[in-house]
Amino acid sequence: MDDRNDSSATDQLADAFAFTTEDLAANRAGRLSQRQVEALRRRERRASVIVLLFTLGMAVVPALALLVFALAGNMPMIGLSVFLLVGLPMLGYWVADSERRRWRRDRTGDVAAGIYGPVWPASTSGRTGRPRIRIENLEFEVSPEQLAAFQPGVTYSVYYTPRTRTILSVERPQEKPGV
């Protein structure tokens, strides 16, 4: 363990997680800063574009199948293709839209949850291949740069969005917060 002082450790965490002192103050109060609300809005918009593209992509295959089967005069397969042309995009929208809704709820809920405890590296995320950290019973996906900003086993206060578990800000407190 190196002997970084608290100020340089906080600066390193602020750089790694891109938060300001205003963000940290709002998170300590259990709220999102205006800057964090805007960042969540951008992620929600990005998720909306992904939902649209995914839904359109789910319609392409049945539409092409419908065209091929219509040209061949295969009536049973035309019926199946029409069913899939409606059903697959609806299913795709339902699945993909859940992520967008989580980002929206985090943004509109204006809540920053907090957890206090020692941080430990956890297994790499199977979904994205990114590293994870564990604090108490929660795990968070982080970038390699963010992982490097933590000292394993050292106690931190981590503020995050409750639904998407996105880390908003982090600090090394002097003593356990009275939350």
Task: Write out pLDDT tens, residues 152-169.
Answer: 999 999 999 998 899 999
Q: What is the pLDDT of residues 89-126, one digit of tens each?
A: 888 777 777 877 888 888 888 889 999 999 999 887 66
pLDDT digits (tens, 9 = 90+) for 73-90: 887 887 777 787 778 788
Residue 17 near residue 169, CB atoms below 8 Å: yes
Domain boundaries, the chain: 6-32+111-171, 37-108
Does the pTM of the predicted model rise above 0.85? Answer: no
Q: What is the 3-state secondary structure (H, E, C) of the chain?
A: CCCCCHHHHHHHHHHHHCCCHHHHHHHHCCCCCHHHHHHHHHHHHHHHHHHHHHHHHHHHHHHHHHHHHHHHCCHHHHHHHHHHHHHHHHHHHHHHHHHHHHHHHHHHHCCCEEEEEEEEEECCCCCCCCCEEEECCEEEECCHHHHHHCCCCCEEEEEECCCCCCEEEEECCCCCCCC
Residue 47 has pLDDT above 90, yes or no: no
